[in-house]
Amino acid sequence: MEHIAEIEHVSKIFAGKTVVDDVSFVIPRGSVTAVLGPNGAGKTTVLSMMLGLREPSQGSVKLFGQSPKQVQVKRRIGAMLQDVSVIDSLKVYEVMNMVRSYYPNPLRMVDMIHLAGFTSDELNKRAEKLSGGQKRRLGFALALAGDPDLLFFDEPTVGLDAPARRAFWQQVDRLADQGKTILFSTHYLQEAEDAAHRILLFNKGKIAADGTPDEIVSRLTSRSVSFIADWDGNDTYPVLEMIHRMRAIPGVSDCKEQEGRWVVTTDNTDTVLAALFRYGIPARDIRTGQGRLDDAFELMLTHDEQDKEAVSS
């Protein structure tokens, strides 16, 4: 079997509001996929449907070819969820042993302790007395208790400091090297770019883009050619003609003057360069550039917020 997870035309409607809108994707074995998107994009809802915690309003979710509610499936998955705290009144090692007992082939206790990096002092602490970061480490170890093939991490690094984040992603890398299939959600672009082989970009309940981090970068960001044009005299006609000709090139979305330079926004910078010479435009100091993904991402988020304000006002 090639695909660990198959999501087909899945929608989720809460109280008349479409949170996830006709989403389809497959997760191949051994891949590391980031579900990236701003808050409220439907990431957590998609994950909870994949985990069998929520029922899709439409469409089907299959893990290992079966419904995620099947016990055979649950034995092969592990997850770290948002808003799950630890069970109270139990010591850390008791919680670990308890969760291990749920799985037919659990990790060895020593391996789990190693994964969580707990000292024997911490192991004997009551789980509810752990610090936030320690609780997260416990959650991580519990996700791996059953030695799962497929792992879900929902916003795994929220609230962690930089060293803890780094340590977390190093462990994820190691798990990926062991051949585990990993799906994580995040609203940090950098994390998705660094840790994932593939990004599913969610926006407003839909998949806005799906591809490798590089592909996403090129899709999200625009390329441009910029130059300084030296016209003879103040003849406006060639300027208008240039704008007209540039805009006629396939893939060009804009041509305008910004801070003394002409900027041509395009999918393909090569055709713009060729055109500059073909039309004999008196251009000098020609530069090609690419917008930053961060900017594009920010832009997407700000659009969202404007939408929200529009809805609430």
By CB under 8 A, tell whether 20 contacts another protein. no
**Binding another protein by CB under 8 A: which of 6, 8, 21, 94?**
94
**Binding another protein by CB under 8 A: which of 1, 16, 17, 83?**
83
Q: Which stretch binds another protein (CB under 8 A): 87-95, 111-119, 195-203, 249-257?
A: 87-95
- B/e letters for 266-287, b = 16+ CB within 10 Å, e = fewer, are beebebbbebbeeeebebeebe
By CB under 8 A, tell whether 10 contacts another protein. no
By CB under 8 A, tell whether 79 contacts another protein. yes
DSSP 129: G
**Binding another protein by CB under 8 A: which of 7, 19, 49, 86?**
86
Q: Which stretch binds another protein (CB under 8 A): 83-91, 202-210, 219-227, 272-280?
A: 83-91
Q: Which stretch binds another protein (CB under 8 A): 28-36, 84-92, 220-228, 297-305?
A: 84-92
By CB under 8 A, tell whether 66 contacts another protein. no
Nearest-angstrom CA–CA distance, 25 and 10: 9
Nearest-angstrom CA–CA distance, 163 and 140: 16
DSSP 196: -
Shortest Cβ distance from residue 72 to another protein (Å)? 8
**Total binding residues toward another protein, as defined by CB under 8 A:** 29
**Binding another protein by CB under 8 A: which of 77, 115, 144, 172?**
77
Pick out residues in 109-148 that bind another protein (CB under 8 A).
Answer: 142, 146
Q: The sheet that has 58-63: what strands, in order across it?
A: 17-28, 3-14, 58-63
CB-based burial label for 30 (10 Å; 0-12, 13-18, 19+): middle
By CB under 8 A, tell whether 61 contacts another protein. no
**Binding another protein by CB under 8 A: which of 58, 60, 84, 256?**
84
By CB under 8 A, tell whether 42 contacts another protein. no
DSSP 46: H
3-class DSSP string for 206-226: EEEEEECHHHHHHHHCCEEEE
Q: Who's near 126: CB < 8 A, 6+ residues apart?
A: 88, 89, 90, 91, 92
- B/e letters for 76-101, b = 16+ CB within 10 Å, e = fewer, are bbbbbbeeeebeeeeebbebbeebbe
DSSP 86: P
By CB under 8 A, tell whether 286 contacts another protein. no
Nearest-angstrom CA–CA distance, 73 and 148: 10
Shortest Cβ distance from residue 83 to another protein (Å)? 5
Shortest Cβ distance from residue 69 to another protein (Å)? 9
**Binding another protein by CB under 8 A: which of 14, 231, 277, 279?**
14
- Reading the block at residue 312, the tokens are 């609430």
Nearest-angstrom CA–CA distance, 270 and 192: 29
Shortest Cβ distance from residue 151 to another protein (Å)? 11
Shortest Cβ distance from residue 100 to another protein (Å)? 9
Q: Which stretch binds another protein (CB under 8 A): 50-58, 177-185, 241-249, 272-280?
A: 50-58
Which helix (DSSP H) or strand (DSSP E) does residue 258 occupy?
strand 252-258
By CB under 8 A, tell whether 99 contacts another protein. yes
For another protein, the binding residues (CB under 8 A) are: 14, 51-55, 71, 74-75, 77, 79, 81, 83-90, 94, 97-99, 101-103, 142, 146
